[in-house]
């Protein structure tokens, strides 16, 4: 089992940058596939990016070249580095951990990009 706590969300102007962190508590962090998802008001939750212990396996076309997912297994933390932010990036961002086909979700953190 794992508990996820996200941080780093907030308000930023278009073109700015933000770094989200997801701290995991529990054992065997390196065995989890970690991911970031987002959900804008009135829209379905969508995958932003995910990563295994050492390889990015998915990234949304809408954020390629702007966002980067990474993880530090020693710190039990996964990051989402967001650059060149656009108003359409505004959403609640969720951290996800998956192991043995069971998914754990963080509480989400709000990212708002102003124009």
Provide the pLDDT confidence category of residue 71 given band limits of 50, 70 and 90.
Answer: very high
* DSSP single-letter state for residue 26: S
- Provide the pLDDT confidence category of residue 27 given band limits of 50, 70 and 90: confident
How many percent of the chain have pLDDT more than 70? 100
Give the percent of the chain with pLDDT over 90: 96
- Reported as a pLDDT band with limits 50, 70 and 90, residue 68 is very high
CB-based burial label for 7 (10 Å; 0-12, 13-18, 19+): middle
Placement of tokens 């996820």 in the chain: 4
C-alpha 32 chain-centroid distance = 14
Q: Which residue has the tokens 């996200």?
A: 6
Q: What is the mean pLDDT of residues 81-98?
A: 98
- Which of 79, 81, 96 minimizes the C-alpha distance to 38? 96
| pLDDT on residue 23 | 97
Tell me the two tokens of residue 46.
């969508």
| Contact criterion met (CB below 8 Å) for 51 and 78 | yes
Length of the chain: 115
Kindly compute the dihedral angle of the four CA atoms of residues 110, 66, 47, 32, in this order, to the nearest 10 degrees: -90
């Amino acid at each position: 089992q794992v508990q996820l706590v996200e941080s780093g969300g907030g308000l930023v102007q278009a073109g700015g940058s933000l770094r989200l962190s997801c701290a995991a508590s529990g054992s065997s962090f390196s065995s989890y596939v970690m991911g970031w998802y987002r959900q804008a008001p009135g829209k379905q939750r969508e995958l932003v990016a995910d990563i295994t212990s050492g390889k990015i396996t998915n990234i949304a076309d809408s954020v390629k070249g702007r966002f980067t997912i990474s993880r530090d297994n020693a710190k039990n933390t996964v990051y989402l580095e967001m650059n060149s932010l656009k108003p359409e990036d505004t959403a609640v961002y969720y951290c996800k951990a998956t192991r043995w086909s069971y998914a754990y979700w963080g509480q989400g953190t709000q990212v708002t990009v102003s124009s």
